[in-house]
């Protein structure tokens, strides 16, 4: 008679699942399954077996997007900024170095105790002599990474990997109408690709560089050019590793990205930093107004900023090899530029490249 009564909720209430929880659990499980599939594809590629292209269906893309990658990336960013105790720094960083094959001999500061948190370690600088900038060729690699694809842009479509394309206009956004910009002078009746080409006899070229987590995370100016405009696309933060890029068509158009456009001696030039899972933070050193991975964003929207009308009448001049920006972990750089028909890439698809090495020249 002295025992207390135990009040229990109905079984239906205890096991009630909300739609959000179902989406997160299902999407997270499917993302894990895709990671396993990517691993198997990588093993086949290492053995020299050609992997057929299988694109994701709309429901698969929607399921992947249901994973709250933007929220997870913001949480990861805050975790990276937590200061680690001195005794814990070396074990944590050593594990990361071993997992991703980081070469700390190239770092400006090799002592692991120097980096107070993961964010500082990810954004470590290199020794000045570690990346000599090629002076002979006109376009250099803006970062360390892996060459996913390169070549001429054809029929307003760009290849993110072999056999998988995305729309040039969807990626860069509508044509910029600022009259001062040289690349907006083409007749409006032409295709979007033709409107970007400012000089007769020139072609439009592209190059995609994937930065792995173990790569140097800063990126630099690939040539001498002037940045006139910035366009920021809030969006998803899906993985951009080669396996996912081979699976999801227009992956780069789905993800958050920052498009810098301007001109170089041969006409139109653009560099786009594409965000990815745990890489919601994209920083451009000369652009203090840029804030990526904001909690609130409108799907399909973009924000424009003109460095001509807001700062000066000449834009932001960049020298080849000059520091331009950084990722928080690793992601993708896409170059789209105009050049004469005799421009040649000195690359092979899938090769590793380091910042400062030649991409191509005339």
B/e letters for 204-228, b = 16+ CB within 10 Å, e = fewer, are: bbbbbbbbbbebbbbbbbbbbbbbb
Q: Is 15 exposed, middle or buried (0-12, 13-18, 19+ CB in 10 A)?
A: exposed
Distance, CA of 115 to CA of 125 (rounded, Å): 11
Full strand arrangement of the beta sheet holding 344-345? 139-140, 358-361, 344-345
Report helix, strand and coil shares of the chain as percent, to nearest 5. 30, 25, 45
Is residue 119 among the annotated active site residues?
no
Q: Is 105 exposed, middle or buried (0-12, 13-18, 19+ CB in 10 A)?
A: exposed
Q: Which member of 144, 215, 263, 287 is catalytic?
A: 144
Look at residue 5 and give its three-state secondary structure: coil
SS3 of 327, please? strand
Question: Is 266 one of the annotated active-site residues of the chain?
Answer: no
7 is catalytic: no
Burial class (CB in 10 A: 0-12, 13-18, 19+), 297: middle
What residues form DSSP beta bridges with 361?
344
State the catalytic residue, choosing from 220, 232, 254, 266: 220
- The three-state DSSP-derived secondary structure of 228-265 is EEEEEECCECCCCCHHHHHHCCCHHHHECEEEEEEEEC
For strands 316-318 and 157-161, give the pairing.
Answer: unpaired
Task: Single out the catalytic residue among 221, 228, 236, 331.
Answer: 331
Q: Which residues are catalytic?
A: 144, 220, 331
């Amino acid at each position: 008679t002295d025992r207390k009564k135990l009040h229990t909720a109905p079984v239906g209430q205890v096991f009630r699942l909300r739609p959000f929880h179902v989406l997160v659990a299902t999407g997270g499980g499917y993302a894990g399954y895709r990671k396993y599939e990517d691993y198997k594809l990588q093993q086949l590629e290492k053995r020299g077996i050609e992997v057929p292209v299988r694109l994701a269906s709309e429901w698969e893309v929607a399921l992947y997007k249901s994973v709250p990658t933007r929220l997870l990336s913001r949480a990861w960013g805050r975790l990276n900024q937590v200061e680690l105790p001195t005794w814990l720094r070396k074990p944590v960083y050593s594990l990361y170095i071993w997992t991703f094959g980081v070469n700390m001999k190239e770092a400006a500061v090799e002592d692991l105790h120097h980096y107070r948190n993961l964010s500082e370690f990810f954004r470590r600088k290199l020794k000045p002599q570690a990346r000599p900038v090629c002076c002979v060729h006109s376009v250099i690699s803006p970062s360390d990474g892996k060459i996913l694809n390169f070549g001429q842009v054809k029929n307003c479509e760009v290849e993110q990997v072999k056999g998988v394309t995305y729309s040039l206009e969807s990626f860069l956004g509508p044509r910029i109408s600022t009259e001062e910009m040289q690349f907006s002078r083409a007749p409006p009746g032409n295709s979007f690709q033709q409107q970007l080409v400012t000089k007769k006899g020139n072609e439009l070229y592209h190059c995609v560089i994937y930065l792995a987590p173990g790569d140097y995370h800063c990126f630099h100016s690939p040539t001498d050019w002037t940045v006139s405009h910035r366009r920021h696309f809030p969006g998803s933060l899906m993985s951009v590793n080669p396996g996912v890029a081979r699976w999801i068509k227009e992956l780069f158009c789905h993800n958050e990205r920052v498009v810098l456009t301007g001109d170089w001696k041969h006409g139109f030039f653009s560099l786009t930093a594409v965000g990815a899972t745990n890489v919601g933070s994209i920083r451009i050193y000369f652009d203090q107004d840029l804030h990526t991975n904001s909690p609130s964003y409108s799907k399909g929207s973009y924000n424009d900023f003109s460095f001509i009308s807001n700062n000066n009448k000449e834009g932001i001049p960049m020298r080849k090899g000059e520091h331009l920006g950084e990722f928080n972990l690793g992601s993708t750089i896409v170059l789209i530029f105009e050049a004469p028909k005799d421009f040649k890439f000195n690359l092979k698809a899938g090769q590793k490249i380091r910042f400062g090495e030649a991409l191509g020249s005339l």
